[in-house]
Chains A and B, each alone.
Chain A
Amino acid sequence: MTPFLEVEDLVVEMRRHGAAFRAVKGVSFSLERGDALALVGESGCGKSLTLRAIMGLLPSGGRLLSGRIVLDGVELRGGLRGRGRGYHQGERMSIVFQDALSALNPVATVGSQIAEAPRHVLGLGRRASVERALELLHLVGIPDPERRYRAYPHELSGGTRQRVMIAIALSSEPALLLCDEPTTALDVTIQTQIIALLADLRVQRGLSLVFVTHDLSVVSQVAEQLAVMYTGRLVETGPTATVLAEPRHPYTAGLLAAALDVDTPEREPLAIPGSIPDPLRLPSGCTFHPRCGLATPECVSTDVFLAPVGFGHCAACLHSSQLAAVQGAGRA
């Protein structure tokens, strides 16, 4: 069965201060209909750019050098200038951003912003699109939709604004929802509400989801598949539970060791030595090698690619079996 979303070999170039570099290098993944993938990494790893490249909304200075995106059998071509995808029937995806306050139009009511896509993309009449907007406000759990329709973004709280963003994203009837750190700026109690909302929507509407975050601790509630990015490349992919329990790439293992868990306060978080390299001066071979305890001269000289290490589980590391052995020994 062909996957619902297929991303092949995405390469994005960014220009900064006149210098160009590849911010996303050959990212490929696929997603079945109704499934969710969490794309995880620290700042500068290219996860947001990957999402934006799929959506056709690269920032200025960014350029898609190569790559194929196939959604439901249809290969997506570059969008019209200035317009992302989702504006065309058949390119049925939407994006939800991190900061609702800057992503929403401050001088238009939220209702009109939700009604915009039904009106101009789906071709509904004015009254029908207002109806649709009210339905969506209700769907995303905003109480008193008639009153909220006329509110402006700055009058709403952070969580409500995020729900509005989700409503706008849903208004064009997408089959795929791309989320760029949608809960990072929210309080933790609101975060659970939004995550529950997204889960509900997936069940109700069969939505597929790509969820970008830097926070490993939310991914197990959000997505069944996990992909970890470092300096523009995927370093590990696989089922979330498996990757979190048995990471096969030293970077993933490092992230897990550095994370704090509220249930195990005695555990000392271990930092990953070194720091994220400057994208203009990346180390050769495996870009993680300067920070990796398992690095060998081979890691410096050869480019490393994703290779299977388990069922549906891939890692881009020459020593993943060694890592597995160490972890196994540690558990014994």
Chain B
Amino acid sequence: MTTATATALPLFEPAQEVAGRPSFWSRALHSPTFMAGAVITATIVALVVLSPVIGRYSPDALDPLHPLSGPSALHWLGTDELGRDTWSRVLYGGRTDLQVGVLAVIFPFCFGVFIGTVCGYFGGRLDTIVMRVVDVVLAFPFYVLIIALVFAVGVGTHGIYIAFGLTDWVVYARTTRSATLLARNLDWVAAAQGGGLSRARVLWRHILPNTITQAIVYSMSDIVIVILAVVALGYLGLGIQPPAPDWGSMIYDGQNFLQNDQWMAVFPGIAVVFTGIGLSLLGDGLADVLRPE
């Protein structure tokens, strides 16, 4: 049986294009979630970074003539009971909080991803030991651990960094380990090893880019978690110590004035909420954009 249509095979298929994959930025620009998150976060970061410029007063400057004043031309967001300008304090407080948030997450991220990858790939005794440690840490309620550690190590930012460093890595370790376990059995890993590439190369250059996505996305919301924890610590006097402004202590201080001078607590609160929204949307958006389809 012959057919007029199927030809002796040209292995080449010139008519067929390889559908181009839009670049990262193109995909990012088309993801509403990512854009929303990026815009909000970028705005907040910009404002906070520019605080010396747009903050009209020093955060510690007292204006004894206008304590507890509402929003006005002189003080855009009002003043607290000591006459300190709320707008400036929100901006400088943002600096403190965002800085602490990001720095407190970096070490857990790096260490957690590293140890999770190693455990997932090699298994064995190391895996067993590390996972038991993870189980122990996760067994404690998060805030209990943080508070206990800050209390033990000492208050202030260094205490916060140490407390998070010791406890926050477990989530990254676990998610990365699961992702690595899954990836380890896939054919393309076998192919990479079979191609004569060293195990280290396969692990860090081939497997890791595929397993790190969840960790990256989680780190965004982790920053928010840290900021909220710092706020909570502030309530117990274990947070950022005065006179450095931070949103948590501002909200705490403003509690007493909620009846009449709500702005003292409300504005920092709004700042926390917006930061949380921005980072969460950014994290979600990243998850979408990083998916390798």
Q: Which residues of A contact B (CB under 8 A)?
A: 245, 247, 250, 253-254, 256-258, 268, 270-275, 278, 290-294, 322-323, 326-327, 330-331
Q: Is the CB of A294 within 8 A of B2?
A: no
B144 within 8 A of A: no
Partner of A253, one of B5, B7, B9, B15: B5
Partner of A273, one of B1, B6, B19: B6
Q: Is the CB of A273 within 8 A of B4?
A: no
Alpha-carbon separation in the docked complex, A326 to B4 (Å): 7
Partner of A293, one of B1, B7, B10, B19: B7
Q: Is the CB of B2 within 8 A of A254?
A: no
- Return chain B residues, CB-CB under 8 Å to A330: 1-2
Distance to closest chain A CB from B292 (angstroms) = 15
Interface centre among A253, A273, A275, A294 (most CB of B within 10 A): A273
Partner of B6, one of A272, A275, A322: A272
In the complex, besides A258-B6, A273-B15, A292-B5, 9 extra interface pairs with C-beta distance below 8 angstroms are A253-B4, A256-B1, A268-B8, A270-B3, A274-B15, A294-B5, A322-B4, A323-B4, A326-B4
The number of A-B residue pairs with CB atoms under 8 Å apart is 65
* Given contacts A253-B6, A254-B6, A274 and B13 within 8 Å (CB-CB): yes
Alpha-carbon separation in the docked complex, A271 to B16 (Å): 15
Q: List 29 A-B contacts (CB under 8 A).
A: A245-B1, A247-B3, A253-B4, A253-B5, A257-B2, A257-B3, A268-B8, A270-B6, A270-B7, A272-B5, A273-B6, A273-B7, A273-B15, A274-B13, A274-B16, A275-B13, A275-B16, A278-B19, A290-B15, A292-B5, A293-B4, A322-B4, A323-B3, A323-B4, A326-B2, A327-B2, A327-B3, A330-B2, A331-B2
Q: In the complex, what residue of chain B is closest to A250 when comparing beta carbons?
A: B5
Distance to closest chain A CB from B185 (angstroms) = 19
- Return chain B residues, CB-CB under 8 Å to A274: 13, 15-16
Give the size range of B's interface with the partner.
10 to 19
Q: Is the CB of B15 within 8 A of A254?
A: no
Q: Is the CB of A327 within 8 A of B9?
A: no
Distance to closest chain A CB from B4 (angstroms) = 4
Q: In the complex, what residue of chain B is closest to A322 when comparing beta carbons?
A: B4
- Return chain A residues, CB-CB under 8 Å to B5: 250, 253-254, 272, 291-294, 323
Alpha-carbon separation in the docked complex, A331 to B1 (Å): 7
Partner of B3, one of A254, A278, A290: A254
Alpha-carbon separation in the docked complex, A326 to B6 (Å): 13
Alpha-carbon separation in the docked complex, A254 to B6 (Å): 6
Partner of A257, one of B1, B10, B13, B19: B1
Distance to closest chain B CB from A326 (angstroms) = 4
Q: Is the CB of A273 within 8 A of B13?
A: yes
* Given contacts A274-B16, A290-B15, A257 and B6 within 8 Å (CB-CB): yes
- Return chain B residues, CB-CB under 8 Å to A253: 1, 3-6
* Given contacts A274-B15, A274-B16, A290-B15, A326 and B10 within 8 Å (CB-CB): no
Distance to closest chain A CB from B288 (angstroms) = 11
